[in-house]
């Protein structure tokens, strides 16, 4: 994997001179953040050597290089999912590539079902922790110490400093931001009412089919992580209607303006911090 990453990095660096410090993974219906960037280069996943390809509706499948203020960014406009048939190691590949390109901070977003009865569709939630119910792990297999340690610590998967920053910027912008624990499942079927009751009982506030493998990989690699969920529907047993991906996309797109406003402000603040400017 390390050798393949090196080949991919060399190919990318021949396409763009931009060295990103922040990586962003955009979930279903949330790809509009790219419209806030000063874009330098867009590259389709299918053109990148060794890079897995996304097949899900609502995911553009492009790696976008650009800037927000003084912050240099690489964004995944469309993520990869376990339920597409990708091995867990493939889900780790884009995050490891970001690290090799220079990324130090990962901002990961998703569309999620709300399990906390205080939530409602359209809410934004900063992820304080997660529960892995995939039944798999992207770090299983032979370990390469050039990437990270055999037994990585997960005490603080989601950076407390970044959570504080996101909440500070949300208050300044007048954007409501909930807090909660994200539960990751393999999908692609939506959860049963019994499964939702179980996940509520173990401390889950939102549930989805992504993010956990990316966040675990990022911490293994030594990246700081900020996670934000867009609550696109209430989960089975709390919802009054049956679930559909079209409804998820519709709600995510309706909330996208607030999401993009918040994430763009946080990312700009990260650039200001790196430049020594007060925020």
Active-site positions read: 28, 59, 81, 83-84, 111, 209-210, 233, 245
Q: Cβ(64)–Cβ(37) under 8 Å?
A: yes
Backbone phi, psi, residue 160, to 5°: -65, -35
Strands 22-26 and 178-184: unpaired
Backbone phi, psi, residue 167, to 5°: -70, -35
Binding site annotation covers 28? yes
Give the integer Cα–Cα distance in Å for 96 and 6. Answer: 10
Binding site annotation covers 269? no
Binding site annotation covers 81? yes
Binding site annotation covers 111? yes
Give the integer Cα–Cα distance in Å for 96 and 131. Answer: 22
Binding site annotation covers 50? no
Distances (CA, A) of 61 to 44, 57, 75, 131, 197: 6, 10, 10, 27, 34
Q: Is 41 helix (H, G, I), strand (E, B) or coil?
A: strand
Binding site annotation covers 233? yes
Q: Cβ(207)–Cβ(112) under 8 Å?
A: yes
CA-closest candidate to residue 78, choices 109, 103, 100, 37: 109
CA-closest candidate to residue 162, choices 215, 230, 99, 220: 215
Give CA torsion, residues 249, 251, 256, 258, to 10 deg: -170
Burial readout 105-141 (b: 16 or more C-beta within 10 A, e: otherwise):
bbbbbbbbbbbbeebebbbbbbbbbbbbbbeeebbee
Give CA torsion, residues 111, 113, 118, 124, to 10 deg: 0
Binding residues for phosphate are 28, 59, 79-81, 111, 210
Binding residues for a purine D-ribonucleoside are 191, 233
């Amino acid at each position: 994997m390390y050798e393949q990453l090196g080949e991919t990095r060399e190919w990318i660096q021949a396409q763009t001179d931009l060295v990103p410090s922040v990586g962003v993974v955009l979930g279903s219906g949330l790809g509009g953040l790219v419209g806030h960037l000063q874009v330098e280069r867009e590259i389709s996943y299918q053109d990148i050597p060794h890079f897995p390809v996304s097949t899900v509706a609502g995911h553009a499948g492009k790696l976008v290089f650009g800037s927000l203020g003084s912050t240099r960014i690489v964004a995944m406009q469309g993520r990869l999912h376990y339920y597409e048939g990708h091995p867990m190691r493939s889900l780790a590949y884009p995050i490891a590539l970001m690290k090799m390109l220079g990324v130090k901070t990962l901002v990961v977003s998703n569309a999620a079902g709300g399990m906390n009865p205080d939530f409602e569709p359209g809410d934004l939630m900063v992820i304080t922790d997660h529960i892995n119910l995939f039944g798999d792990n992207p770090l299983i297999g032979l370990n390469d110490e050039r990437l990270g340690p055999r037994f990585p610590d997960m005490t603080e998967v989601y950076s407390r400093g970044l959570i504080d920053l996101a909440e500070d910027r949300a208050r300044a912008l007048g954007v409501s931001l909930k807090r909660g624990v994200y539960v990751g499942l393999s999908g692609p079927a939506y959860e049963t009412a019994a499964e939702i009751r179980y996940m509520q009982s173990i401390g889950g506030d939102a549930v989805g089919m992504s993010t956990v493998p990316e966040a675990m990989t990022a911490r293994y690699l030594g990246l700081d992580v900020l996670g934000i969920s867009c609550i696109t529907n209430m989960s089975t047993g709390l919802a009054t209607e049956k679930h559909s991906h079209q409804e998820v996309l519709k709600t995510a797109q309706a909330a996208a303006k607030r999401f993009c406003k918040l994430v763009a402000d946080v990312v700009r603040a990260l650039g200001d911090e790196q430049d020594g400017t007060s925020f």
